[in-house]
Structure 1
Amino acid sequence: MSKLEVRPENHKIFVFNKVFEFASAKQQAEKKKLNAFGMFAKFNPLKRPTDETVLLKEQILRYEPFWFVESKRQVDYSCAVTYSIPVHNPHTTAISIQQTGVEQASYPVIRHQDKSKAEVQVVEHCHRAIHYSNYFDGLKREIKPSILADYIKKFNHDEVQEVAMDNVLQPLLSVDELTSFVRSSLQNQVINATNIESDLEEISSLYVYFRPVYAFEYHWSTADKVGVIEVDGLTGEILENGHWFKGTFDQAFTRDNLIELSAELASTVVPGGGTMVKIASKVIP
């Protein structure tokens, strides 16, 4: 049975301090607003968006989540194997391993052409530590982990006990999905064992970060279409094919909520089921 250990001190929430203000972000979005409807629309000679037909509909500063998880699996196990011991004395017919106070076992020497060996059955007592860490976009987008790691290295962020700002997006990647994926990655590490004596997994870090992103929704009147320009509140980077996410927290999300959710996971490990997590899909409330 694999056991998951969850410690409250390993759960943290961080919020980034925005670098760019609303006015600056809006100015950048206005320059790119005609690109919010795709390249085909921009270069369509018959009907294309113009400054007069594309107007700002809504604007928002939202906080988008991403995860950092670090985990360790420690396994104590034994493995029954046969050691081949070379025997150099041509006159040896058998070997025995000396052990005080214990009856000695004798192992015959096997000869093949000009080589000799004895095969000794032993039990290896082993300990293995498997480490795993990664970053995950909380909105299930294909964002490289290195990009998320760079946010942490380059920009100021504060640890908080709760997130109570307006327009904080709720993670689409829930705690149970995240933890199940990490545990599956740990279990994919093959351990050749005759007997597993203990198998302990620990979530050494479960952090959620919220970063500021400006979103500007534009309406193209002649085509009756909407498009979104996003401006990263940290780097100022512009995303022309943005999204208007609506799933925000109804109330403050606290560190205690995070601890409670992962504690539920730790209590649902099934004996004999490896690291299978037997729970219903859960989204952070």
Structure 2
Amino acid sequence: MSKLQVKPENHKIFVFHKVFEFASAKQQAEKKKLNAFGLFAKFNPLKRPTDETVLLKNQVLRYEPFWFISSRRNLDYTCAVTYAIPVHNPHVTAVEIKDTEASVYPVIRQQDKAKIDVQVIEQCHRSIEFSQYFDGLKRDMKQSIWSEYIKKFQHEDVQQVNLDNVVQPQLTVDALTSMVRAELQNQVINATSIEHDLEEISALYLYFRPVYAFEYHWSSADKIGVIEVDGLTGEIIENGHWFKETFEGTFTRDNLVELSAELASTVVPGAGTVLKIASKVIS
């Protein structure tokens, strides 16, 4: 069974600085507000939203989470195998290897080829690495989106996030840990015996990026639609969401460490594997 150990120094929180201001984002949302209720409503000839019937109900600048996790599995193991060693001298009938229990090995000949079979124990070391970004709200997002944010836009390492409307991650501690361990454990290890098996999550970074959300009410149909505007790229999402689960008060790096420590006291299934947690995800 595995024990979880926490490395607090590898927990980090980053906050992106917004590029677009509220007024600019709102102007873009107003241009697209009639598209907030889906294609069917937009192209319905009998009843469609209009500028007069679609009015702004709520607006917010929120900070959405995504994660970066880097992990490694280090194994020391042995493997009992047979080495087939070619013999080139056509006159050899046996080969003697000094300092071995079975010192004489008969030569096996097949047509014009000859060999000896030697039983050996291989001492092996293998390192398996896995790293990936995860959307904190469990949406199907391309990996390149997150890496491009980090490359292009200013963000800072912070000890606490005391902004308004910081959205709580929906990706739980158990879910993320299970996904990462599955990736590390999914590799086939051809071993006779495993001497050391160490899984280490060496980095877990939590990022918060700014997103503007504008909630519109279509009065004649009594429907609600949301337009989102990315606070970094200005990209518009017409079929947006209004996330209500936000942190109450300040969220700190210590909070993240504490949540990881709670998980460290649990037992994780594994064939003698020590899971050395450098960091974990928020529940």
The alignment's TM-score, normalised by the length of structure 1, stands at: 0.92
2:47 alignment partner, SS class: coil
For structure 2, which runs of at least 5 residues remain unmatched after alignment? none
Identity of aligned residues (%): 76
| Cα shift readout 1:109-165 (whole Å, capped 9, x = no counterpart) | 111111111000000000001111000000000111110111010000011111111
> Is 27-36 or 5-14 further displaced after alignment?
5-14
Give 1:261 shift. Answer: 2.3
- Give the Cα separation in 2 of the matches to 1:136 and 1:283: 11
Output one character per residue of 1:68-113: Cα deviation in whole Å (capped at 9) or x when no partner: 00001100000000000011112212112223xx656221111111
- What secondary structure does 1:176 align onto? helix
How far, CA to CA, are the matches of 1:169 and 1:16 in structure 2?
14
In 1, Cα distance between the equivalents of 2:253 and 2:247?
Answer: 14
Question: Which structure 1 residue ranges, 5 or more long, are not aligned?
Answer: none
Matched, 1:245 2:234: no
Alignment match, 2:226? 228
Residue 139 of structure 2 is matched in structure 1 by 141
Alignment correspondent of 1:208? 206
Distance 1:145 1:138 in 2: 13
In 2, are the aligned partners of 1:135 and 1:148 still within 8 Å (CA)?
yes
The verdict on how the C-alpha distance between 1:272 and 1:37 changes in structure 2, with shifts beyond 3 A counting, is closer
Please give the residue correspondences for 1:158-173 in structure 2 after superposition, counting only pairs within 5 Å.
158-173=156-171
Q: Counterparts of 1:275 and 1:213 in 2: how far apart (Å)?
A: 41
Do 1:6 and 1:202's aligned partners in 2 also have CA atoms closer than 8 Å? no
CA contact (8 A) 2:62 2:212 kept: yes
- Which residue identity does 1:27 align to in structure 2? Q
Amino acid at match of 1:115: K
Aligned to 2:69: 69
Shift of 1:263: 3.2
Tell me which residue corresponds to 2:175. Answer: 177
Q: Tell me which amino acid in the other structure corresponds to 1:179.
A: T
What is aligned with 2:193?
195
CA contact (8 A) 2:153 2:232 kept: yes
Cα distance in 2 between the residues matched to 1:121 and 1:68: 45
In the alignment, is the contact (CA less than 8 A) between 2:15 and 2:158 conserved in 1?
Answer: yes
**Contact 2:226 / 2:238 at 8 angstroms: preserved in 1?**
yes
RMSD after superposition:
2.0
Distance 1:253 1:97 in 2: 67
Q: Secondary structure at the match of 1:152?
A: helix
Distance 1:276 1:201, change over 3 A: closer
C-alpha displacement of 1:276: 11
User: Quick check: 2:54–2:217 contact (8 Å CA) kept in 1?
Assistant: yes
Would you say the 8 A contact 1:83–1:122 is kept in 2?
A: yes
1:111-122 correspondence runs (5 A): 111-122=109-120
Q: CA deviation at 1:45?
A: 1.0
CA 1:26/1:269 → structure 2, altered by over 3 Å: closer, same or farther?
Answer: same
Q: Deviation at 1:204? A: 1.1
Q: Amino acid of the residue matched to residue 59 of structure 2? A: Q
Question: Matched residues in 2 for 1:267 and 1:167: separation?
Answer: 31
Alpha-carbon distance in structure 2 between the residues aligned to 1:275 and 1:242: 42
Shift of 1:2: 5.3
Task: Tell me: CA distance 1:271–1:219, structure 2 relative to 1, closer, same or farther (3 Å).
Answer: closer
- Kept in 2: contact 1:4–1:200 (CA 8 A): no
* Structure-2 separation of matches of 1:147 and 1:84: 50
Task: Give, as a single letter, the amino acid of the residue that structure 1 aligns with 2:48.
Answer: R
Distance 1:271 1:134 in 2: 23
Question: 1:283, CA displacement in angstroms?
Answer: 8.3
Judged with a 3 Å threshold, the aligned counterparts in structure 2 of structure 1 residues 274 and 147 are, in CA distance, closer, same or farther, namely farther
Asked if the contact 1:2–1:198 (Cα under 8 Å) also holds between the matched residues in 2, the reply is: no
